[in-house]
Amino acid sequence: MEEGTVYFRDGNLITESGDAKVYRMNDEMFLEVGPGHNLVAKENDLIDYIWQISDKPYGDCLIIGLGLGISSGYILSVPNVKSLTTIEENPNVIEVQAEVNKIEDGRFKIIHGEVLPYLYKTKDRFDFVYLDCYSYIDEDTLPLIADIVAGAKRTLKPNGLVSGWLDSNTPEVFVEYFFKIFQ
């Protein structure tokens, strides 16, 4: 760790692969990817998923972004979910997730690939698509989120729904725009 870095000072490295590292601190797991302690996922995000996703998932579902697999595990726990596909661009994230939170469920599959090409090429159709592929929401990430939502909408079955994770720390100025993207 860099001198003066406080973020995971008291944490213990559980596993790492390439640019993906999983730490445990205060009995919670954290995933960071890339240089500079870029926090991508934390175990207690489950609280947000329960509140934000609720019982919306049904039928064939797609999650964009794997992280620690917390959102995938939650969606698989919702009644009426027949299948769940998760697409993840970073093979290192797939590897560390399998080590710390392997999901063994016949309805679940992970696809390693780029999100936008997948969304525009796949013939698969989904009842529920959930975006969980960004660490924060701001003027830089909103255009990418909008592009992904547009691609995701083309994969929907009739009456399907696209939704996304709203970071509780999102500045109010971006919240309204974020929700408009999904309409």
Q: Per-residue confidence at 6, pLDDT binned at 50, 70, 90?
A: very low
Q: Domains (ranges, CATH) in the chain?
A: 12-43 (no CATH), 44-181 (3.40.50.150)
pLDDT above 70: percentage of residues in the chain: 93
User: Between the CA atoms of 56, 60, 64 and 66, what dihedral angle is there, to the nearest 10 degrees?
Assistant: 90
125 versus 183: the higher-pLDDT residue is 125
pLDDT (tens digit per residue) in 7-56: 456 778 889 999 999 998 888 999 999 887 678 888 888 888 898 899 99
The pLDDT mean for the chain works out to 90
* Sign of CA pseudo-dihedral 30, 39, 109, 80: positive
Residue 5's pLDDT is 35
This prediction has a pTM of: 0.90
The per-residue pLDDT for 41 is 87
